[in-house]
A and B are shown apart, each in its own frame.
Chain A
């Protein structure tokens, strides 16, 4: 007599979870437990010694230290710089990506060639490479310096605002380099528009200008949020981002250590969550307002 086979639903569950088990085990060991440990560290004094690490719970001392020490001040400064940069970079990248995507979506020869060019930076843009380009002054158009834009910025804005804005201009081209994936996202969205829609609009007397604003742009709205989120995460985890550099340098600094570093990492995460939340509110509503379906 054979064993009675399990019910289909139960079997599906068992087999499904057996496929998922590798990821789940990995998630528990490498992400979830570290996540909670990190929260614990952020409220502890962590001392490294020959025998191992000693962890003493200190409540919110690390967080207080962020707002009262020079290391903490430097970190907060870099986070606020990052927020200001996001405010400028995300629109620049998004608009640029849309313009290029619309151009590349035309019927033309050499589309593949141009697409390859505009995607190229995604392949090579690592932290050290961009670092070299920015440091050697190859990251921007020489015109910007010649026209005195940087001086103008330094003279017009307060110091806290001028620095991040000047940064944007001094690495303008490599900022555009962060739009490779987004261009492809927008092209994909554009290709879903039925050609017949344009023809119908033309028959109804709409010119190219109206067609662009009434057909093309609404079709892109749903992709804007995806693109914005991708851009923010991409910039936030970019290895040369000052804020995350602080997290690493403070790990082994004499004054601070693992506890303090964990605390600023969490603060960074909270700041990022706020930025992401605001973008969701802003662009989520935008996508819904006139987007398809």
Chain B
């Protein structure tokens, strides 16, 4: 009797394979929580600092929890960033290229998945190459080209390459769509063809509707990557147009240019609040659409070999 209880307790604690026992489970959760905390530490610190007032900032006894909720930092950085207007511009150079890039890369991926075209292998090689070659190599001639077109220092300089599938990480999206369309049953296309549909109709009526999850995933990633991009946009948008990210990049100089703040000095709390304001839109999208980001990678079959 006693031996049996002992066995039972041992079984609960250690389990069959160590992993399903109580000790194993607790250790797993604990580890994930601790690592998760360290992982998010920069964000947590950023948030707590952003609501500290000046006296809390200099007070070494106030570390994690501010003595009071102080929102003036947000007001200040709102003015410096010129938030409303800059947000609108940022959205125009992220949503538009993200959408157009998704459309073009889907058409390209569809063609590669569904048609026996000559030179497909070479094309694949080139597409992979566009992923591996850093954009810095062809950035300068693009700059000259856009200057000739007269679209430099405008949102068009970001939108045009995206429209033609030469935007940010376009190659990845082509591969995502390629994998996804390849998994669609061929019988559907054939039956539509027998019913008299042409290839373009089949694409619009069967290909696209069945691939909506891939479209959403590609669009979301494209949006986030465009949102976070600053290198190319700072070059092509010139010195007068600012996205939110570019304002943050030049926060100190933007701060001194902002009107009505001349009495104040910029401090880390204000900078942190500005950072939070900048990640807020993508954070909201992530909270709502989280499933599509995380599961999207799985579902679209990028991971298949």
Contacts and interface: CB of A to CB of B under 8 A. Distances in A.
Interface in A7-64: 9, 12-13, 15-17, 19-20, 22-23, 25-27, 29-31, 33-35, 37-38, 41, 53
Contacts of B41: 138, 141, 173
A126 B297 contact: no
B136 interface: yes
Contacts of A125: 228
A181 B141 contact: no
A5 interface: no
A91 interface: no
B260 interface: no
Interface residues of B, number: 91
A14 B115 CA distance: 9
Interface in B105-145: 105, 107-108, 110-112, 114-118, 123, 126, 130-145
Contact of A26 (B104, B131, B268, B275): B104
A122 B112 CA distance: 29
Interface stretch (A65-73, A129-137, A150-158, A162-170): A129-137
A185 B290 contact: no
A9 B116 contact: yes
A139 B22 CA distance: 34
Nearest to A134: B42
Nearest to A107: B20
B302 to A, nearest CB: 8
B164 A127 contact: no
Interface residues of A, number: 90
B101 to A, nearest CB: 10
B18 interface: yes
A251 interface: yes
A174 B49 CA distance: 18
Interface in A209-262: 211, 222-223, 233, 236-237, 239, 244, 247-248, 251, 258, 261-262
B249 A123 contact: no
A127 B161 contact: no
A126 B229 contact: yes
A132 B290 contact: no
Interface of B: 16-20, 25, 28-29, 31-32, 35-36, 38-43, 45-46, 49, 104-105, 107-108, 110-112, 114-118, 123, 126, 130-145, 160-161, 163-166, 174, 199, 203, 224, 227-231, 234-235, 245-246, 248-249, 251, 268, 271-272, 275, 278-279, 282-283, 285-286, 290-291, 293-294, 297-298, 303, 305
Given A19-B115, A30-B166, A114-B32, 5 more contacts: A31-B166, A120-B43, A128-B248, A128-B275, A265-B136
